[in-house]
Amino acid sequence: MAEAYDAKAPLGHTYGDVEYYTKHLQGVSGRILEVGSGTGRILIRLLQAGLDVEGLEHSPDMIRICRRYCESFGLNPTLHMGDMASFASIQAYDAVIIPAGTITNLSREDARRALECYAKSLVSGGLLILDLEIPGLLTGPQPLKLWRKGDDALTVEIIHSTFDPSLNQMHEYVKYEKWTAGRFVGSELHTFRTQHWVPEEFAAVLEDVGFVDVKVTANYDENARPGLRDRDWSFHARKP
């Protein structure tokens, strides 16, 4: 999975999020935590921009890839391995960011717990920025996706998905396969839960756990507000 993720969104790739986060973090002089730092696609660019960024990631495979990239650029950031719903470091950070819709992998209850942890982890006046990816509601099998890296071919296929309207959650079964020089190497099957939100609902949770000055933008455009054809919503809030 980590190799496929790295092939899908390699270093240097941006959805507009790299530039967006770099711009909005420029005034932060203290420590920053990126939650769900993955293979370092955003983290490394922020470090290269002179920001003091640490990563939090639950996958050791992702951390290994990120560490290898960091070393190739002469970087040695702190990379924490932990659960994004329970990680807290009291008043350690001037900003916490959660790009790429990562928080939508948590249920409502776990998302609230995670936000409470980040409120504890921020200094007074600290900044929280996060994305909500807006996934489609396709169910059933979807087309096979394939990426090549040298002699390796990595395929990803959503083989089954269901949507629970009572919880506004989607569950997907995703099969990853790796082939080298045309020979099958191995496969993994992962399940993913995506929690859907509406902007007002998520903003209310942020305020309920104690954040203030909550605002939302769309599609990494600070002048855009949520609409019908959005791909991403970005929330900004501060700890009082």
**β-pair type (93-98, 122-133):** parallel
pLDDT, tens digit (0-9, with 9 covering 90-100), for 216-234: 999 999 999 998 888 899 9
Per-residue model confidence as pLDDT tens digits over 54-108: 999 999 999 999 999 999 999 999 999 999 999 999 999 999 999 999 999 999 9
Rounded mean pLDDT, 4-24: 94
Q: Domains (ranges, CATH) in the chain?
A: 2-135+197-238 (3.40.50.150), 145-195 (2.20.25)
**The pLDDT of residue 135 is above 70:** no
Q: Length of the chain, please?
A: 240
> In the 3-class helix/strand/coil scheme, how is 69-119 assigned residue by residue?
HHHHCCCCCCEEECCCCCCCCCCCEEEEEECCCHHHHCCHHHHHHHHHHHH
- Taking only the tens place, the pLDDT of each residue in 141-174 is 778 999 998 899 999 999 888 889 899 999 999 9
pTM: predicted TM-score of the whole model, two decimal places: 0.92
